[in-house]
Amino acid sequence: MNSFPTSSPQVVVITGASAGVGRATAHRFARAGWCIGLIARDRDALEAVKREVEELGASAVVAAADVADADAVFAAADLVENTFGRIDVWINDAMVTVFSPVWDMTPAEFRRVTEVTYLGFVHGTMAALRHMRPFNRGKIIQIGSALAYRGIPLQSAYCGSKHAIRGFTDSLRTELIHDRSNISLTMMELPAVNTPQFDWARTHMPRQPRPVAPVVEPEVIARAVFDAVQHPRREYWIGLSTLKVILGNVVLPSFLDRYLAKVAFEAQETKVPVVADRRDNLMDPVHPLHRTRGRFGDEAAEKALVVAGPIARVAPIVLGGVLLFATGVLAAAAAGKVGRTRPSGARLR
């Protein structure tokens, strides 16, 4: 096993770094003095993020790459290591989506969402492992979603990709455990976030897309990701809505099927019609729209509950046990009362 460089500062690589959660995360690590590898398709947007990082006192290197291209991702990882001498943390965040019923989408659209949103994570993870396994250390963060547990209408390709990321990560985790690796894997399951994706995602709906309320700002996620790097856990759930969606789907999946069918169409559309010349970023970047926050700041929260997934899963189990015990006690008390008031000579049938 090679000796891992011990010089500081530490180095983080962020895919999808040109906007939204990725851009906010770059800012958070820059404030902590990390060196940052920035990966996304739009070089000009990445150069702008690099300038922001440098203004915060950190260093960054730009690697313009489409995460659907495995060779480009591997080359980007090599560039970061050659520049800074190491890769301590890799954060997979790049994504695209299409707002549409399944029957209005094309196979090419499904393929593209899957190649970026799922295979992009696979490629990034493989690149990270190439640079971490020789030193038997490192941290990989997968930016997931509550939709990795519960699919919703109008985003079937995205939900399918997020489900796939969770399955892939779980499989890899078992392999690392078998290999007695010190590389950690963390899934971050997100709520709706106020990012530019709703301005540039492809849509086949008549009105402009929007996040399903409640919404948080990208900086909320960035802080949670930074904290997760300091305190790695198997999984983090961000936002009370994420807890409700994941746990609710475990307990009442059929109810959620009908509830989402009723409310989630309108909840993902504004009242503003889609213009005929609307550009989207499914195949190519939309440069003018690159920024950290989207246009829903008037309703986006600056804070959110963050809990480790395993701890959150324990809560309903404990609650269920308490309710079961209480039900048993009440039933026993009722039976005792009936026994005490039964007339002499009466028998149970």
The tens-digit pLDDT sequence of the chain (349 residues) is 555 555 578 999 999 999 999 999 999 999 999 999 999 999 999 999 999 999 999 999 999 999 999 999 999 999 999 999 999 999 999 999 999 999 999 999 999 999 999 999 999 999 999 999 999 999 999 999 999 999 999 999 999 999 999 999 999 999 999 999 999 999 999 999 999 999 999 999 999 999 999 999 999 999 999 999 999 999 999 999 999 999 999 889 999 999 999 999 999 999 999 999 999 999 999 999 999 999 999 999 999 999 987 776 665 565 555 556 556 666 666 666 555 554 444 433 3
The strand pair at 269-273 and 207-209 is best described as antiparallel
- The CA distance from 63 to 50, in Å, is 11
Element (DSSP H or E) covering residue 119: helix 119-132
Q: Is residue 343 part of a domain?
A: no
How many folded domains does the chain comprise?
1
- Among 118, 158, 236, 259, the one annotated catalytic: 158
Query: Residue type for 146, please?
Result: A
Q: Is residue 4 part of a domain?
A: no
Element (DSSP H or E) covering residue 263: helix 253-263
- Output the DSSP codes for 283-347: SS--GGG--SS-S-TTTEES---EEEHHHHHHHHHHHHHHHHHHHHHHHHHHHHHHHHHSPTT--
Q: Is residue 6 part of a domain?
A: no
Q: Read off the DSSP letter of residue 4.
A: P
CATH number at residue 169: 3.40.50.720
Task: Give every CB contact of residue 213 below 8 A, 6+ residues apart in sequence.
Answer: 192, 267, 299
Q: Is residue 309 part of a domain?
A: yes
Backbone phi, psi, residue 89, to 5°: -135, 140
For residues 225 and 308, the answer to whether their CB atoms sit within 8 Å is no
Active site residue 118: no
Whole-Å CA distances, 331 to 110, 223, 325, 335? 53, 48, 10, 6
Torsion of CA 144, 147, 150, 152, to 10 degrees: -170
Q: Is residue 310 part of a domain?
A: yes
Q: Is residue 184 part of a domain?
A: yes
Whole-Å CA distances, 25 to 15, 90, 93, 335? 10, 12, 10, 59
Q: Which domain holds residue 161?
A: 11-338
Per-residue pLDDT at 165: 98
Element (DSSP H or E) covering residue 64: strand 59-64
Q: Is residue 173 part of a domain?
A: yes
Buried b / exposed e along 11-44 (16+ C-beta atoms within 10 A): bbbbbbbbbbbbbbbbbbbbeeebbbbbbbbbbe
Q: How many helices (H) and strands (E) in the chain?
A: 11, 15
Element (DSSP H or E) covering residue 237: strand 235-238
- The CA distance from 119 to 107, in Å, is 16
For residues 251 and 149, the answer to whether their CB atoms sit within 8 Å is no
- The CA distance from 128 to 142, in Å, is 12
Token pair 């770094």 is found at 17
Q: Is residue 344 part of a domain?
A: no
Per-residue pLDDT at 349: 38
Per-residue pLDDT at 144: 97
Task: Give every CB contact of residue 84 below 8 A, 6+ residues apart in sequence.
Answer: 11, 35, 37, 59, 61
Report pTM. Answer: 0.89
